[in-house]
Amino acid sequence: MNGQYIPAINTDNLDAFARGVRRFTTGIDEAGYQAALDWARAEVTARSVPLLRLNDLPRGSFCSLSIVGSAAALSELLPEGNEALRAIRTLERWVGTEFQGIVPLNCSGENPLISAAAAAASGKPLVDGDGCGRVLPLLEQTTFTLHGISVGPIAVATPMRDDLILDAPATRIEELIRPIVAAAGGWAIVACYPMSAEQLAMAGLPGTLSNALRSGHPDFGPDPLVSRTLCRGTISGIEYPIQSIAGQPRSSAAGTLPSAPVSILISESAEPRSHLRLEAHNEIFLALADGRVIASAPDQILILNPRTHEVINLENLTVGEPVHVAMVPAASPAWKTKQGRLLMQLSGHAVEGFYNLSEDTMNEGAP
Amino acid sequence: MHLGIEVGSDAITMAALDSSGSLAGRATMTDTSITEGLNNGLARLTSAIIESVSCVVIAIHDQVQAGQLQPTAVLRLSGPAHPALRPLAAWPRELSARIGTCVETIRGGATLAGTSISDPDLRQVADLARRATDAGVPRIAVCGAGSPTRPDLEESCAEAITSVAPELSITLSHTLGGSGLRDRENAAVLNAALRPWAAAFSETLEETLKSHGIHAPVYVARTSGGAVVLEHFRQFPIVCIDGASGCLFAGAAHLANLSDAVVVDAGHDGIRSVILESGRLPTRPESSYDSAIRMSVAEVAYEQLAWKDLNLGPFPPHHLGPPARSEPRNRHLNLAAALMLGSFNSPMIVVGPRAMELAPELGPEYALFAAAVGAARSPVRAELERVIRVDETRTLAQALAQAQEDAVNLSVEAGADRVTIRIERLEHAPMSYLPPGFHRVAVGAAGEPKSARSA
């Protein structure tokens, strides 16, 4: 079964799919992930989910699906199971068309599992692709946006049974949606990026779900995920800015970002015994070794458990903990274009100077 | 003298450590019952040792079988959930059948930010308690959504239950801690269902020890390391169902006088291994019961691999050839291979029943007594996890100070001598996607067991 076409997500490959998508995360809440997996398992057992290739889409409209908020909140305020369907139906009613399929916003952690559950429950196929190639913190940080497709209108379905439509400029969406998520208990499902099959075929990143499947089990083909070790060491410090410690509102510079910035200091355990400094805000966007940049977004910087090689959630780091730091190349060249980097800056404002310094190395070609 | 006793399914081993930590006496028995094994083992220790025992620590493994789960009523306080996510839905049928059918979700609980989902109907709670009593189920587990932030919601349910059924034994999920409603609920249900076993086990222990003239305080090792006093174990048996693993690794380090080492437990069926750094055993925040039910009970984070999957050739290790090339994702095999080849910088200690085959130079105490030694050396430990909110009325420093004080008090309840308690671990992090000011806090506190003299 080396790298062959994978026609469906079903009970035979769901576990491999689940293992694969967790390898694309920047951190995982185990209880939230298991809840999403059990939800998906129940739905996929009842009905398998056809996978549509991006170059073979039927005519018609599609939408993207995503969880917004935290998986930790989902594991506490469990889904009733109809949230994704409600979001899809609400958006269908608003735009006046029935979607021919669902494309996950990203291919990481809970999101593709929930998309698979929604596809099974709705009887719609799932598109073998996504808009990130990994996971990014803001709804508009997608290759769909890079191709001029608007994130809105957005349908929001909360676990409190609220259904909302946000029909607003893309630049307002995050600011509007975060308070809604907080009021809804910390998570919600959104259906967004209503688009035509042609738009999706042009803007989506192809094959990312089947890649995840291959990453989850060698039976489905060679592992597509390559990484480079940046450091093996021990966490020597974790620093939060004073406003997040004091519980003050996040600075306006941070905009509506859903998490607090954090700096992680790591002492390398072997020669050259460098001191690493990782800067994170939702994701790790910069790695410095003794003051020298060794990796930065849009490449993905991950902190791994050295025993299990699982990604460690940034909220669960502890001083004295042994870790590996690895870098996974950006999922798509689109993220290394000027437009891609500018879009990435929305969640990494602190690295703006670095981006500017590096601009001469950018690929200027638009996607 | 501290007496450590490892209680396994096929053997009981004992190790007595003097005040310097030296092994003063040891015994191992392979009797069929715990009582018989304890009696015969204690009879083998000298009267001088017996008379000077000031503290006993029991380390359990392979004792908690499915048959020990007793029927338990289950109350979930939350909104409605997908059928696959309802109480006990992910349990194997034979285990959920043991818990019974007195299982109900009542609308209530809170979000992680503490906002109430709705006020629970306490009449419904009382009705469930009455039904449990009528059905002859004398225990109940209560798990509320958001209880790491709002433990008061579970406590109000407990009051409602006690008002109509004061005889019901109640486990509240927030007292066990952990994030994730289902994992915390599973831990609470299992805890409640194991209390009868814990009570019977405790009674056997106390009677047997007293019959040999040992009146010292008795502790039980926790699955995540450390120990709790027997009365605490009766209330929270779920945190002690595999205390022997942590004791084994800690005991090996003590016997070898090392605080940084790779410890390998060479068992009959396979190996388990752990990397000990600065004397600290790694832990993970969740574990599973019967390899089937996820629960928010921390355990020592060891790796394991069956011998049949190792493919490393015959013993002893210096005869091993290079391991079969493995897929990078096969972490178990990689780790095992790396351990067997000694490729870590740290020294390696081999313990367990097959230790003598792997490393005969280490001596038989490593093969048989490491867990009992580790038990005898166990501090008393308590863990606290909660979600706190920092605002204009309370600074983070104040909230953390309160959490540390609460952890110290928990340690005292767990049987620690207050003057010896230290904060071992204090972790906090702002929580994503919640309003500013919410932090996840975890505190670990440990102290010396109250000895017979100080108790």
| Residue from the list B181, B285, B427 with its beta carbon closest to the beta carbon of A76 | B181
**Number of cross-chain residue pairs from A and B with Cβ atoms under 8 Å apart:** 172
Chain A contact set for B433 (CB, 8 A): 69-70, 73, 178, 181-182, 186-187, 258-259
The answer to whether position B226 is within a domain reads no
**How large is the ipTM?**
0.87
Residue A330 in this model has a pLDDT that exceeds 90: no
Residues B12 and B112 in one domain: no
Contact B439, A262 (CB under 8 A): no
Per-residue pLDDT band for B339 (boundaries 50, 70, 90) equals low
On whether residue B238 sits in a domain, the answer given is no
Q: What is the pLDDT of residues B101-145, one digit of tens each?
A: 999 999 999 998 899 998 889 999 999 999 999 999 999 999 999
Burial class from Cβ neighbours inside 10 Å (0-12, 13-18, 19+) for residue A291 reads exposed
Asked if A182 reaches chain B (Cβ–Cβ under 8 Å), the answer is yes
The CATH number of A228-361, from 2.40.390, 1.10.3470, 1.10.4160, 2.60.40, is 2.40.390
State the average pLDDT for chain B. Answer: 87
Which residue of B77, B111, B400 is the best one to mutate when testing the A interface, meaning the one whose CB has the most A CBs within 10 A?
B111
Q: Judge whether residue A348 has pLDDT over 60.
A: no
In this structure, the answer to whether residues B38 and B102 fall within a common structural domain is no
* Domain region containing B402: 380-447
Domain covering A8-220 in this structure, CATH number: 3.40.1610.10
* Exposure letters B130-165 (e unless 16+ CB within 10 A, then b): eebbeeebbbbbbbbbbbbbbbebbbbbbebbeebb
B378 Cβ contact partners less than 8 Å away, ≥ 6 residues apart? B4, B57, B59, B219, B221, B225, B226, B227, B247, B250, B449
CB contact B92 to A (< 8 Å): no
User: Is pLDDT above 90 for B343?
Assistant: no
A80 touches chain B (CB under 8 A): yes
Which residue among B319, B354, B378 closes a domain?
A: B378
The reported pLDDT for the residue numbered B455 is: 44
B21 with B87, same domain? no
| Alpha-carbon gap, residue B318 to B337, rounded angstroms | 13
Q: Which among A78, A183, A245 has CB closest to B78?
A: A78
pLDDT of residue A254: 43
Token readout for B384 is 């606290």
- The answer to whether residues B123 and B194 belong to one domain is yes
My answer on whether B423 and B390 are in the same domain is yes
What is the least distance, in Å, from the CA of A280 to any CA of chain B? 12
Distance CA B370, CA A7 (A): 53
Percent of chain B with pLDDT over 90: 63
CB contact under 8 A, A73 and B440: no
pLDDT in tens, B258-285: 888 878 888 888 888 888 888 888 888 8
Tokens read off for B293: 């039910």
Task: Please report whether residue B215 resides in a domain.
Answer: no
Number of separate domains in chain B: 4
Look at residue A245 in the predicted model and tell me its pLDDT: 57
Domain boundaries of chain A, sorted by first residue: 8-220, 228-361
Interface residue A72 vs chain B (CB under 8 A):
yes
Residue A3 binned pLDDT confidence (cut-offs 50, 70, 90): low
Query: Which tokens sit at B100?
Result: 């019974």
End residue of a domain, out of B341, B358, B378:
B378
Is residue B91 one of the residues assigned to a domain? yes
Report the CATH number that the domain containing residue B115 is assigned in CATH: 3.40.50
Contact call for B112 and A73, based on CB within 8 A: yes
- Chain A interface, mutation test: which of B284, B346, B391, B433, most A Cβ atoms within 10 Å? B433
Please report the pLDDT score of residue A349 as a whole number: 44
Q: What is the pLDDT of residues B44-85, one digit of tens each?
A: 999 999 999 999 999 998 778 778 999 999 999 999 999 999
Q: Which residue of B has its CA nearest to A178?
A: B433
In 3-state terms, what secondary structure has residue B278? coil
Beta carbons of A76 and B329 less than 8 Å apart: no
Determine contact: A236 vs chain B, CB below 8 A: no
Q: Is the pLDDT of residue A168 over 90?
A: yes
> Which helix (H) or strand (E) element contains residue B295?
strand B293-295
